[in-house]
Amino acid sequence: AVVSFLQSFSCSWVFLWEKGYQETDSVVSSVTTKVKGVTLTNTSTLGARIWDVADYVIPPQEENTVFVMTNVILTLNQRQGRCPELPDDKTECKVKKNCVPGYVSTHSNGIQTGECIPYNSSIKTCEVFAWCPVEDDYHIPKPAFLQEAENFTILVKNNIWYPKFNFSKRNILPTINSTYLKNCIYDSQTDPFCPIFRLGTIVEAAGQNFQEIAVEGGVMALQINWDCNLDRAASHCVPKYSFRRLDNKDSAHTVSPGYNFRFAKYYMDSNGTESRTLVKAYGIRFDIIVFGKAGKFDVIPTMINIGSGLALFGVATVLCDIVVLYCMKKKYYYREKKYKYVEDYEL
């Protein structure tokens, strides 16, 4: 009975659950994205300002990735010249000899000139030749500068192809029309196939708080799974979306958290002097990860698995005998039932 059970189980596992009768192929994919959303900020430095997709999506296009800026430190009207360095234990000075001409550390904003000049009314620092005034990023804006970014949306267009079966499809399904696409927002219950995602929903579905991650940034994954049984109709091959956070979110590890980078916007002022606005951008990078496998009936894997199953039948008998006759508590009882010992006089 045990042997029969193992044989039945192995056949069911290989042929029904693992679909051992199918040839399989891995997905080939391409992804494009489009972010939409507008927000208004009003600060003493910038005044009232509108931020649209050209301001906060940096760069405009990446491969399988989109970065949305949620927080920012701006250093306006920088020009090349001489100015005091930011104060720290290596740049603060009292006299000129504390500063070394030509010295540059990994955290310097410029090259020291050898002079010690006032940073403010109470502190002196070494003078540097740099883009002045130097950036002060000690204090990150809280709450996030673009906190309304959680209501921005991202359209994900994904095309997939299974080369072995010459089967292709995209996540904008044939049943989706332009009217629906203009109005839908992804919801796992009501709109599971809508390719437009609210940024806040992606973060929340991964178990995170958008306003917290927006301050210092992070990396999120939007996963698209295409597992298709091509023995069924093509309409059954549909994408399944899931979300998770990829960067380290452990509160115990506070060194260099989040995700940020710098870039500059250059221009010439009225005097013909080159100037720039330095931007330190914090934000969320959304990585679109596509994976999947397709299967379709094929004679060769079917015959191979049938042969393997038949061979397994013989192995199962041997294994069951070993377990029953040598490992179980009642092994002597089973051995008596399996073998009959005959005395010489009975022969």
The alpha-helical segments, DSSP class H, found in 154-298 are 178-183, 199-205, 210-216
331: annotated binding-site residue? no
Asked whether the beta carbons of 53 and 128 are under 8 A apart, the reply is no
- Taking the C-alpha atoms of residue 122 and residue 138, their distance in angstroms, rounded to an integer, is 18
Question: Phi/psi at 233 (nearest 5 deg)?
Answer: -65, 150
Cβ(163)–Cβ(150) below 8 Å: no
Q: State residue 344 phi and psi, 5-degree precision.
A: -60, -40
Q: Rg of the chain over CA atoms, in angstroms?
A: 33
Torsion from C-alpha of 266, 269, 273, 274, nearest 10 degrees: 0
198 is in an annotated binding site: no
| Distance from C-alpha of 106 to C-alpha of 2, rounded to nearest angstrom | 70
261 labelled ligand-binding: yes
Please indicate if the annotation marks 323 as binding a ligand: no
Closest CA to 147 of 206, 215, 196, 202: 215
Which region, left, alpha or beta, applies to residue 206 given φ > 0 means left and ψ of -120 to 50 means alpha? Answer: alpha
Handedness of CA 177, 180, 182, 187 (dihedral sign): negative
Contact 55, 37 (CB under 8 A): no
Does residue 262 have a known ligand-binding role?
A: yes
Whether 329 has a binding-site annotation, put simply, is: no
Counting Cα atoms < 13 Å in the Cβ hemisphere of 26 gives: 2
SS3 content of the chain, % helix, strand, coil (to 5): 25, 40, 35
Binding residues: 34-36, 153, 260-262, 280
Binding residues for ATP: 34-36, 153, 260-262, 280
